[in-house]
Every structure is written in structure tokens, then in C-alpha cells.
């Protein structure tokens, strides 16, 4: 059998089939590579988003910790201020009693002082629902008549 004759006889239909099959296979490979590339790109986007979220979480944690430190310092200052106000309030009441006692011994009319604000401060409701300050107590000096007489 002559190979050249066989080739000439079958090259037309067989070449078309081989060309069609190779074109289809190339298109299939191209589609598979495109799908892999899309999956790779999606993975890269997910990693970039995860990295961004991680950096944001770290920044928020740092700012939360610094805010927590500031809140602690402010609370400490508030407690020291309340202690000083308590001492000042007690001293003012003591001074008024001494003045009244001296005026009573001297036979003078008792001086009328402006009433002190209530201490501890009345309770206030803060936005988070907790109560700030002490419970409301009627600790203000009465405006009644002098007790020494």
C-alpha cells in the first residue's frame, strides 16, 4: 500500500476532524485556564480583604486600649475630685457651726448662710443606663430657723 496515496485519500476528511478536535480541545483548555485564573484572582482579593480587615482590627484595638486608659485616668481624677469636694463640704459645715456657736456665745443674731448644695450629688442616669454619682440623698443644709438661741 502506498502511504502517500493513503494520505491524499484520507487527509481531507481526517484533517478536518483532527482540526475540529484540536480546536475544541484548545477552547476547552482556554476555558479551564480562565476559570483557574478567576479563582486565583478571587483568592487574591479575599487575602487582600482579610489583610485589610486584620489591619483595621489592630488599629481599632489600639485605639480602644488608649481610650480605655484615658477613661481610667478620668475616673481616677473624678474620684479624687469627689474626695476633695467631700472634705470641702465637711469643712464648710464645720466652719458654719463654729460661727454660729461664737455668735450664740456673744449674744449676736445668728448669721444666715446660703445653703450648700447637696452632697453626695444626686444620682444621674448616663446614656449607657448606669447610674452616675451617689444615690439621691437629702443632705443639704436646711433653711430652717437657727437652732442656737
State the DSSP string of 61-97: HHHHHHHHHHHHHHHHHHHHHHHHHHHHHHHHHHHHH
Q: What is the pLDDT of residue 124?
A: 67
Q: What is the pLDDT of residue 149?
A: 45
SS3 125: strand
Average pLDDT score over residue span 98-119: 89
Q: What is the pLDDT of residue 136?
A: 46
Look at 109 and 145; give whichever has higher pLDDT.
109
Q: Cα–Cα distance between 99 and 113 in angstroms, integer? A: 10
Average pLDDT score over residue span 80-106: 92
SS3 19: helix
| 124 beta partners | 132
Average pLDDT score over residue span 135-142: 50
Domain ranges of the chain: 15-132
Does pTM top 0.95 for this prediction? no
Amino acid at each position: 500500500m502506498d502511504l502517500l496515496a493513503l494520505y491524499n485519500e484520507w487527509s481531507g476528511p481526517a484533517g478536518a476532524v483532527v482540526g475540529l478536535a484540536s480546536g475544541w480541545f484548545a477552547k476547552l483548555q482556554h476555558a479551564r485556564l480562565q476559570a483557574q485564573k478567576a479563582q486565583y484572582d478571587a483568592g487574591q482579593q479575599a487575602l487582600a480583604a482579610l489583610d485589610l480587615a486584620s489591619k483595621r482590627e489592630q488599629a481599632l484595638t489600639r485605639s480602644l486600649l488608649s481610650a480605655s486608659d484615658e477613661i481610667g485616668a478620668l475616673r481616677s481624677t473624678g474620684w479624687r475630685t469627689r474626695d476633695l469636694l467631700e472634705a470641702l463640704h465637711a469643712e464648710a459645715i464645720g466652719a458654719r457651726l463654729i460661727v454660729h456657736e461664737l455668735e450664740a456665745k456673744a449674744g449676736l443674731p445668728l448669721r444666715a448662710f446660703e445653703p450648700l448644695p447637696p452632697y453626695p450629688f444626686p444620682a444621674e442616669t448616663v446614656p449607657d443606663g448606669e447610674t452616675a454619682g451617689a444615690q439621691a440623698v437629702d443632705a443639704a443644709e436646711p433653711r430652717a430657723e437657727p437652732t442656737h438661741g
